[in-house]
């Protein structure tokens, strides 16, 4: 749940053109998405998934491309 800040910082330096990001924490997702978008990636798709019906827990699936 800590997110992937270090990995996102490395990705923006790389030639990787597509990133599939799965998150269970909206706050760390937003932090990491800011790093990716500042580095040239754009969100192509964002899908919230209610894996645990009846709870307030959601997973976020995102596709970033540059």
Which of 33, 35, 31 has the alpha carbon at shortest distance from 61?
33
Number of structural domains in the chain: 1
Which of 63, 59, 62 has the alpha carbon at shortest distance from 26?
59
Per-residue confidence (pLDDT) for residue 62, from 0 to 100: 98
Determine the Cα angle at 13 with ends 24 and 41, to 5°.
55
**Per-residue confidence band for 2, with pLDDT thresholds at 50, 70 and 90:** confident
Query: Does 8 qualify as catalytic in the annotation?
Result: no
Sign of dihedral through CA atoms 22, 27, 28, 34? positive
Per-residue confidence (pLDDT) for residue 27, from 0 to 100: 93
**Active-site annotation holder among 24, 43, 60, 63:** 24
How confident is the prediction for the chain on average, in pLDDT? 94
Whether pLDDT at 53 is above 90: no
Give the CATH number of the domain where residue 49 resides: 3.30.70
Q: Provide the domain limits for residue 45.
A: 5-65
The rounded distance, in Å, linking the Cα atoms of 41 and 37 is: 5
């Amino acid at each position: 749940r800590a997110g992937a800040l270090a990995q996102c910082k490395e990705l923006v330096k790389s030639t990787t053109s597509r990133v599939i990001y799965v998150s269970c924490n909206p706050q760390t997702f937003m932090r990491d998405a800011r790093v990716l978008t500042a580095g040239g990636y754009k969100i192509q798709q964002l899908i919230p998934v209610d894996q645990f019906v009846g709870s307030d827990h959601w997973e976020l699936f995102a596709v970033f491309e540059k």
